[in-house]
Amino acid sequence: MSKIIISPSILSSDFANLGRDIREIEKSGADWVHVDVMDGHFVPNITIGVPVVKSIRKVTKLPLDVHLMIDNPQNFIKPFAESGADIITFHYEAVERSDVIELAHYIKSFDLKAGLSIKPDTNPEEILEYVGYFDMILVMTVEPGFGGQQFIGKCAQKLPLIREFAEDDLILQVDGGINRETARVCTKLGANSLVAGSYIFNAENISDAISSLR
Ligand code: DX5
Ligand code: ZN
């Protein structure tokens, strides 16, 4: 399998020192920067939005991996694309089934990678017909909304089925409760991109934490 893409979630960074923290993960070997966007409707929390992405675009060359946990994601694809996102992932549960493919095309029309995410209770069989339209599938391994939650092992069991139906170049990402041990579980089951927030930003040595995930 190809190299593992590590995408630290800045949700666990120090927002008063966001530029510093992003430079720190960049020099510590991170591949992407994971940006968690929440609207207080799709998930019971509010985080950051378009202006923050625009600002962090100026401090890093790393691809910005924008995870939209919002209703009506179609309204925000253009603003995030124009602010410097490189990957935009929306939730399957936030849209009508009839809009999923169109939204993948819309994201790609900005020359970005398109991602589709599923929550812990969503059956992976529901999205198999859409996998081929996306560059990335994000399997949530916690309920979206907060950092620092415990990994839900049964979510990782969805990975082999998705991998089986995917082209070889599909990026299969997991997000939530990822640490050294749960990373192993997920990569064995077919994940090749790992999001980690608290494990990386709360570590004494960020560089060691990132290497320990590979
Ligand atoms: C949760 C977010 C995650 C979160 C992960 O809704 O999508 O990206 O920041 O945090 P940890 O790694 O601490 O579980
Ligand atoms: Zn996320």
195 lines ligand 1 (CB under 6 A): yes
Q: List alpha helices for 41-169, DSSP H.
A: 50-57, 77-82, 100-108, 153-156, 159-165
Report yes or no: 200 and 25 within 8 Å, Cβ to Cβ. yes
Per-residue model confidence as pLDDT tens for the chain (214 residues): 469 999 999 999 999 999 999 999 999 999 999 999 999 999 999 999 999 999 999 999 999 999 999 999 999 999 999 999 999 999 999 999 999 999 999 999 999 999 999 999 999 999 999 999 999 999 999 999 999 999 999 999 999 999 999 999 999 999 999 999 999 999 999 999 999 999 999 999 999 999 999 9
Q: How many domains does the chain have?
A: 1
Q: Which residues contact 126 (CB under 8 A, 6 or more apart)?
A: 92, 118
Active-site pick, 31, 36, 86, 135: 36
d(CA 197, CA 182): 13
d(CA 208, CA 2): 21
Residue 2: predicted pLDDT: 60
44-62 burial: b if 16+ Cβ within 10 Å, else e: eeebbbbebbeebeeebeb
Q: Which domain does 172 fall in, by range?
A: 5-212
Do the strands 87-91 and 136-140 form a parallel or antiparallel pair, or are they unpaired?
unpaired
Residue 1: predicted pLDDT: 46
- Residue 149: nearest ligand to its CA? 1
Active-site pick, 31, 39, 65, 175: 175
Question: Could you give the C-alpha distances from 163 to 1, 137, 139, 160, in angstroms and in order?
Answer: 11, 10, 11, 5
Q: Residue 113 maps to which CATH number?
A: 3.20.20.70
d(CA 206, CA 214): 13
Residue 154: predicted pLDDT: 98
Which residue's CA is minimally distant from atom 6 of ligand 1? Answer: 144
91 lines ligand 1 (CB under 6 A): no
Cα 147 to ligand 1 centroid, rounded to whole Å: 4
Point out the ligand 1 atom lying closest to the alpha carbon of residue 197.
12
175 lines ligand 1 (CB under 6 A): yes
CA angle 11, 54, 207 (to 5 degrees): 45
Task: Supply the pTM of this predicted model.
Answer: 0.98
Query: Which protein residues have a CB closer than 5 Å to ligand 2 (ion)?
Result: 36, 67, 175
Which residue's CA is minimally distant from atom 7 of ligand 1? Answer: 144
Q: Is 175 a catalytic residue?
A: yes
